[in-house]
Amino acid sequence: MGRISDEEQMMERRRRTKGIQEPAVDLYLSDSDIREIIQDGNAKLLVETAQRIGEVLHEKKLTASAIRSFLGMLRKIEVFARTKDGKLSEEAYRELIFLKPMLAYQAQRYRENHRSDALSTLQRVLVPAIDSIGRDLQAFRNFLKFFEAIIAYHKAAAGGWAEKEI
């Protein structure tokens, strides 16, 4: 008694997300694109891809505040990421890997609260990129640039920063 069956949980989840209407736009990045952006640091591909992603996220009505916390987490990782051997410190690597479940959790909350899968779209881009970093410090820096570029293009598509957000 009091325990909810799997079927009831699934029905409740459907009820909460019912009526979500999304633009018919989604993103797919090949493994080779991710490798070129993150591992090889291909700036041209990074910018082109970030622009496409930023615009899609704007179309899907992703709010700036939804991604701001992830940038803050990445900045914290950046502070203690450096080691002498060009690899991420153990602490930085753990925090980076921990971003994946955080993204999953936040994407589900965003879907329920905003009736949008915009953060799930970002998650589908970022998780393979995080996996591509490994312990390589330069790959982490490339990932950070990629994420910053996505945010910049998202804000540009939205018309820039509102005065109250500065």
Q: What is the DSSP letter of 164?
A: G
Among 102, 64, 96, 12, CA closest to 88: 96
Q: What is the mean pLDDT of residues 65-85?
A: 88
Is 22 among the domain residues?
A: no
Is 13 among the domain residues?
A: no
Which H or E run contains 125?
helix 118-133
Higher pLDDT, 6 or 58: 58
Higher pLDDT, 83 or 26: 83
Is 1 among the domain residues?
A: no
What does the alpha-carbon distance between residue 66 and residue 111 come to, in Å, rounded to a whole number? 11
What does the alpha-carbon distance between residue 142 and residue 42 come to, in Å, rounded to a whole number? 9
Over residues 85-125, the pLDDT tens digits come to 889 999 999 999 999 999 999 999 999 988 889 999 999 99
Higher pLDDT, 18 or 55: 55
Calculate helix-pair angle for 64-79, 137-157, nearest 10 degrees: 160
Would you say residue 47 has pLDDT above 80?
A: yes
Is 50 among the domain residues?
A: yes
Is 107 among the domain residues?
A: yes
Structurally, the chain folds into a number of domains equal to: 1
Higher pLDDT, 133 or 1: 133
Q: Output b/e per residue, 123-134; b: 16+ Cβ within 10 A.
A: bbbbebbbebbe
Would you say residue 64 has pLDDT above 60?
A: yes
Is 16 among the domain residues?
A: no
Tokens of 58: 């704007």
Is 20 among the domain residues?
A: no
> Which residue range(s) make up the domain with 105?
28-161
Would you say residue 6 has pLDDT above 80?
A: no
Is 63 among the domain residues?
A: yes
